């Protein structure tokens, strides 16, 4: 019985052209070989299974090949290549830093570096998982890494570049390997299937590539696992059952039911998913990915972001044609919130079911909102509010016109109409008409008058000194909620009215003046305009200098003030040797 070799080893790339998904790196390495620009140290970093160690081996094999081809690939015929292929090369040394991470191991490596190669130009040292070296081992490696012998080249490989000290990074040429695209992994799996005589559905290979998460080695391992189960024929059903992946159809069914508002169908679909042993969090996460794929399928420019087979892409295009963009946005928001709060929920199943019910309500809510926009009485009301309100003079004129009762007396000879006008039911004032024509708009609180004819129109008073005194007291009473300091300040103010248009406010200090101007002057102006008929109003503020001189501010002024008022304090201060302090 022939020994089985896993696909990851059997189909490991042996040349740069066979490396998948790392074209920029392989081209750079080939260019360095062609121009003889070889550095003393390289650092290959990136996720697992993307070809770091593979590229290191190919690079080491190529630079020692004595008969390079035109495409800068190793010949596989010279002694160096043959010894490498048979794993007996003494020029290429591989070291696992996970198990050789001590200072003694690095010292042994430093001693070994001095030995020149037996065949070829270079001795290549490939150190895998180099981030596992201890700090002392890194320090012991620094000098050799920076100034190695001319025949020594180091290739370091790691999945965690952030754990490597900056002193090591600065001595290396760094190559960052990317995750391999799903399309590239599918193409490689199809190549392996063809060579092995296996019939595999493209949808099945695509699921394997998605599960591998950008690692070709993982994809080949999963492929071997599926082959062990299914034999020479790999189907989509076998793959999703073996890998515990939820079928696309559940997501398509859920979205269709949500679009039609069928709550029962969505809940039954979710129950079927749970009965198959899938986790609810897995379902809601997959549904969010499905909604995302529907959204990117809406536009041809973003369709390339959809990673699926042509058959699955066709299904996405069919369903996204029936899904409004607003529905997808709101559905993604609901699904994302459910995903975030899933772990904190005490009843996870009910938590997901409520989110699914909200998805089913989205289309109904959209329909109700559109109908409401078409016939919303509130819109008409807002439109009426936006119209300019009539002045009081227009209202009075309108009432006067309604009170007219015209009695037509036709004169057959002259053909004249003689109107008989009765006395209007409500008297009006010419003064009111003139004053209101000056200010034709009504304030917001007067709008109710227009809607209720029984409510009398609000009129403003004449601005007189007596009326101003009453209004000032009313304004001061409204400030009780601002604190005792503000109330005391306004009680001490004695406003003066000059020529019926200028109000003088006497304040004690600059602080009071700033407080009044910034916070209370606009309020006072608005208050007076709402009560009186004012064509123009000025408010002037002054500071009483006599009061300023009387008020002590610093400690010396306060002490002198108290001594003048209570002379006994001077004797007490001298007798008891007291100091004057304030808190």
CA angle 139, 145, 150 (to 5 degrees): 155
Burial 366-388 (b: 16+ CB within 10 A, else e): eeeeeeeeeeeeeeeeeeeeeee
CA angle 136, 137, 142 (to 5 degrees): 100
Burial 439-459 (b: 16+ CB within 10 A, else e): eeebeeeeeebeeeeeeeeee
Which residue in this structure is represented by tokens 């295009």?
Answer: 317
Closest CA to 233 of 271, 197, 195: 197
Closest CA to 286 of 211, 183, 180: 211
- Residue 89's pLDDT is 83
- Two tokens, residue 103: 């200072």
The domains found in the chain, sorted by start residue, are 7-176 (3.40.50.300), 182-242 (1.10.8.60), 248-373 (1.20.272.10), 392-451 (no CATH), 465-550 (3.30.300.180)
CB-based contact 470:540 (threshold 8 Å): no
- Two tokens, residue 266: 């969505």
What gap in Å lies between CA 385 and CA 447, rounded to an integer? 9
Residue 156 burial by CB count (10 A; 0-12/13-18/19+): exposed, middle or buried? buried
CA distances from 387 to 51, 110, 381 (A): 72, 90, 10
CB-based contact 123:117 (threshold 8 Å): yes
What gap in Å lies between CA 145 and CA 168, rounded to an integer? 8
- Residue by residue, what is the 3-state secondary structure of 87-148? CCCCCEEEEECCCCCCHHHHHHHHHHHCCCCCCCCCEEEEEECHHHCCHHHHHHHHHHHHCC
- Residue 364's pLDDT is 79
Strands 233-234 and 199-200: parallel
Q: List CB contacts of 553: < 8 A, sequence separation 6 or more.
A: none
Coil, helix or strand at residue 376: coil
CB-based contact 245:277 (threshold 8 Å): no
- Two tokens, residue 414: 């002259």
Sign of CA dihedral 337, 340, 345, 349: positive
Written as one string, the DSSP assignment of 163-229 is GS-HHHHTTSEEEEPPPPPHHHHHHHHHHHHHHHT-EE-HHHHHHHHHHHTT-HHHHHHHHHHHHHH
For the sheet containing 41-45, what is the strand order?
92-96, 123-128, 152-158, 41-45, 173-176
What gap in Å lies between CA 37 and CA 489, rounded to an integer? 85
- Residue by residue, what is the 3-state secondary structure of 20-46? CCCHHHHHHHHHHHHHCCCCCEEEEEC
Closest CA to 331 of 254, 446, 273: 254
Sign of CA dihedral 205, 210, 211, 214: positive
C-alpha 286 chain-centroid distance: 21
Given a cut of 70, the residues of the chain with pLDDT beneath it are 1-2, 366-459, 499-500, 535, 544-554, 565, 580-583
CB-based contact 387:440 (threshold 8 Å): no
CB-based contact 387:449 (threshold 8 Å): no
DSSP strand E in 407-562: where?
Answer: 496-498, 502-507, 538-543
CA angle 27, 31, 36 (to 5 degrees): 150
- Two tokens, residue 430: 């010419």
Closest CA to 53 of 23, 19, 101, 98: 19
CB-based contact 72:62 (threshold 8 Å): yes
Element (H, E) at 158: strand 152-158
CB-based contact 30:42 (threshold 8 Å): no
Closest CA to 30 of 8, 61, 52, 9: 61
Which residue in this structure is represented by tokens 């070291």?
Answer: 95
CA distances from 338 to 254, 330, 359, 375 (A): 16, 12, 12, 34
- Residue 567's pLDDT is 76
What gap in Å lies between CA 225 and CA 221, rounded to an integer? 6
- Residue 500's pLDDT is 66
pTM exceeds cut of 0.85:
no
């Amino acid at each position: 019985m022939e020994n089985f070799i896993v696909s990851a080893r059997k189909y490991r790339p042996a040349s740069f052209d066979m490396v998948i998904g790392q074209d920029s790196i392989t081209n750079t390495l080939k260019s360095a070989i062609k121009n003889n620009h070889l550095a003393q140290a390289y650092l290959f970093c990136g996720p697992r299974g993307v070809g770091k160690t593979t590229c290191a081996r190919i690079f080491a094999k190529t630079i020692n090949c004595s008969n390079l081809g035109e495409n800068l690939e190793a010949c596989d015929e010279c002694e160096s290549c043959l010894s490498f292929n048979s794993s007996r090369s003494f020029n290429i040394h591989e070291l696992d830093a996970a198990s050789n991470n001590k200072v003694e191991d690095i010292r042994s490596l430093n001693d070994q570096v001095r030995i020149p190669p037996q065949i070829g130009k270079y001795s290549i040292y490939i150190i895998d998982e180099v981030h596992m070296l201890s700090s002392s081992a890194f320090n012991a490696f620094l000098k050799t890494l920076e100034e190695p012998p001319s025949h020594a080249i180091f290739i370091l490989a790691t999945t965690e570049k952030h754990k490597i000290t900056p002193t090591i990074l600065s001595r290396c040429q760094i190559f960052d390997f990317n995750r391999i695209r799903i399309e590239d992994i599918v193409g490689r799996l199809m190549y392996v299937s063809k060579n092995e005589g296996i019939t595999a559905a493209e949808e099945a290979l695509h699921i394997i590539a998605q599960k591998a998460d950008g690692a070709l080695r993982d994809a080949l391992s999963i492929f071997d696992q599926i082959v062990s189960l299914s034999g020479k024929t790999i189907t989509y059903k076998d793959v999703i059952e073996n890998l515990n992946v939820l079928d696309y159809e559940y997501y398509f069914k859920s979205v269709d039911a949500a679009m039609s508002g069928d709550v029962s169908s969505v809940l039954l679909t979710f129950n079927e998913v749970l009965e198959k042993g899938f986790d609810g969090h897995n379902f809601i996460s997959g549904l969010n990915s499905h909604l995302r794929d529907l959204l990117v399928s809406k536009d041809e420019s973003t369709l390339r972001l959809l990673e699926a087979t042509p058959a699955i892409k066709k299904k996405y295009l069919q369903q996204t044609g029936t899904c409004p963009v607003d529905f997808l946005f709101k559905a993604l928001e609901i699904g994302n919130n459910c995903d975030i709060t899933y772990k904190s929920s005490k009843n996870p199943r009910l938590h997901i079911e409520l989110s699914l019910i909200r998805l089913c309500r989205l289309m109904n809510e959209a329909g109700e909102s559109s109908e409401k926009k078409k016939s919303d009485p509130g819109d008409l009301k807002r439109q009426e509010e936006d119209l300019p309100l009539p002045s009081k003079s227009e209202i009075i004129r309108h009432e006067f016109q309604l009170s007219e009762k015209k009695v037509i007396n036709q004169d057959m000879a002259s053909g004249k109409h003689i109107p008989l006008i009765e006395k209007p039911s409500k008297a009006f004032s010419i003064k009111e008409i003139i004053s209101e024509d000056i200010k034709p708009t009504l304030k917001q609180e007067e709008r109710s008058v227009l809607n209720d004819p029984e409510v009398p129109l609000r009129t403003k008073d004449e601005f007189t000194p007596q009326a101003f005194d009453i209004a000032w007291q009313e304004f001061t009473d409204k400030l009780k909620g601002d604190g005792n300091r503000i109330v005391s300040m306004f009680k001490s103010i004695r406003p003066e009215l000059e020529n019926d248009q200028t109000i003088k406010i006497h304040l004690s200090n600059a602080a009071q003046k700033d407080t009044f101007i910034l916070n209370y002057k606009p309020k006072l102006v608005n208050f007076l305009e709402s009560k009186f008929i004012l064509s123009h109003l000025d408010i002037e503020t002054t500071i009483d200098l006599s009061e300023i001189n009387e008020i002590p501010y610093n400690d010396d002024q306060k002490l002198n003030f108290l001594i003048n008022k209570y002379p006994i304090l001077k004797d007490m201060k001298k007798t008891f040797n007291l100091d004057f302090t304030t808190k």
